[in-house]
C-alpha cells in the first residue's frame, strides 16, 4: 500500500486525507461558515461522504489533504481535475479554525498547496472558479497571483495562475512567514 502523500512548507503540513478523518471533514464542510463559500452547497450525508471518499481514493486526478498547523488540523486543501497531459489542475482550500481564517495562515496553506502542485506534480497552470460577489476570495486569489480570464453569465469568474506569476505574488507575502 502506498504511503499517504505528505508535504510541509511555511509551517503547514498537508497530509493526504485518511478514512478516519472524513467524518470530521464532513462536519466542517456542512458548517454554514464553510458551506456558504462553496460553489456546491449541498448538505453532505455520512453515506455521501463515504462514497465520495471511495471514488476519490480510486482516482489519480484528485487529492484531498488535511492542513495541519501547530499539530492541529485546521482545514482542507485539494488538487482536483489534475490533467497530466495539459499539466493543469484546480486547487481548492478552506480554513475551518476561526483564529487562522483571516491572517497569514491562509496564505501559508495556499502557498504550500501551490508549491506541491508546481514542484511535485510538475503542473504548469492552476485554475480557479470564484463567484464575483465573493470579494474576499477574489482578493485572496489575486494576491496569490491569479488573473481572471473570463466570466460566465452566472458571474462565475474563471481565474488562472502560472508559476512565474505565482512566484512573484508569493515572494511579496512569504517574507512575513518566518518559521
> What is d(CA 137, CA 119) in angstroms, rounded to the nearest whole number?
24
End-to-end, the C-alpha distance of the chain in Å comes to 33
Per-residue DSSP letter, 96: -
Q: Which of 63, 107, 111, 146 binds other proteins (CB under 8 A)?
A: 107
Q: Does position 133 bind other proteins by CB under 8 A?
A: no
Q: Does position 173 bind other proteins by CB under 8 A?
A: yes
Of 46-54, 86-94, 121-129, 136-144: span binding other proteins (CB under 8 A): 136-144
Q: How many residues bind other proteins (CB under 8 A)?
A: 21
- As measured in angstroms, the least distance from the Cβ of 140 to other proteins is 6
Under 8 Å between Cβ of 120 and 7: yes
- As measured in angstroms, the least distance from the Cβ of 73 to other proteins is 17
- The 3-state DSSP class for residue 142 equals helix
> What is d(CA 15, CA 9) in angstroms, rounded to the nearest whole number?
12
Instruction: Give the interface with other proteins as residue ranges (CB under 8 A).
Output: 11, 98-107, 135-136, 139-140, 143, 173, 176-179
Amino acid at each position: 500500500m502506498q504511503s499517504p502523500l505528505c508535504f510541509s512548507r511555511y509551517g503547514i503540513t498537508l497530509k493526504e486525507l485518511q478514512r478516519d478523518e472524513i467524518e470530521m471533514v464532513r462536519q466542517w464542510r456542512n458548517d454554514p461558515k464553510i458551506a456558504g463559500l462553496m460553489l456546491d452547497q449541498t448538505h453532505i450525508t455520512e453515506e455521501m461522504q463515504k462514497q465520495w471518499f471511495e471514488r476519490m481514493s480510486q482516482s489519480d486526478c484528485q487529492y484531498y489533504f488535511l492542513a495541519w498547523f501547530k499539530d492541529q488540523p485546521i482545514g482542507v486543501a485539494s488538487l482536483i481535475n489534475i490533467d497530466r497531459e495539459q499539466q493543469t489542475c484546480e486547487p481548492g482550500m478552506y480554513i475551518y479554525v476561526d483564529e487562522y481564517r483571516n491572517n497569514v495562515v491562509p496564505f501559508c496553506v495556499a502557498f504550500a498547496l501551490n508549491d506541491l502542485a508546481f514542484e511535485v506534480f510538475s503542473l504548469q497552470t492552476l485554475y480557479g472558479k470564484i463567484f464575483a460577489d465573493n470579494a474576499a476570495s477574489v482578493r485572496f486569489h489575486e494576491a496569490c497571483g491569479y488573473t481572471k480570464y473570463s466570466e460566465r453569465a452566472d458571474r462565475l469568474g474563471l481565474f488562472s495562475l502560472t508559476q512565474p506569476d505565482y512566484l512573484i505574488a508569493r515572494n511579496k507575502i512569504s517574507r512575513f512567514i518566518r518559521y
